[in-house]
Amino acid sequence: MTRAAAEEHEAQTEHEGRAHPSDRNYVVIALILAVLTALEVATYYVEEQLGGFLVPALMVMMVVKFAMVVMWFMHLRFDSNLFTRMFVSGLVLAIGVYVVALTTFQFFG
């Protein structure tokens, strides 16, 4: 590969993605996920005390865990935006379609 092509490729690489996390970062992410899982399980034992906060708390923790795995473990945060658009499109479509379907069947009351 020529020097000019190498420099162009390096610029493109920098534009497309940032440096990936280190192994230590991955372990820290995993520990955070483990703590969130423990908190989720803990809600099972204090269901009555949480009352109306139970479902929102579980939803928030679920979304945070989902986002952390997708962004860090799946490298979506560090890769090209095109991958993000591909995945998020499918996700948004799925959520939209099935919220409409559940609403049709009066799932949300």
38-57 positions binding another protein, by CB under 8 A:
40-41, 43-44, 47, 54-55
Establish if 27 lies at the interface with another protein (CB under 8 A): yes
Treating both helix axes as pointing N-terminal to C-terminal, what angle do 23-45 and 54-68 enclose, rounded to 10 degrees?
160
d(CA 87, CA 55): 26
Amino acid identity, position 39? L
Q: Is 32 in the site for another protein (CB under 8 A)?
A: no
CA angle 64, 69, 70 (to 5 degrees): 100
Closest CB 49 distance from another protein, rounded Å: 14
CA–CA separation, 78 and 26 (whole Å): 14
One residue of 18, 46, 53, 93 binding another protein per CB under 8 A: 93
Residues 57 to 86: which contact another protein by CB under 8 A?
Answer: 58-59, 61-62, 65-66, 69-70, 73-75, 80, 82-83, 86
Per CB under 8 A, does 87 bind another protein?
Answer: yes
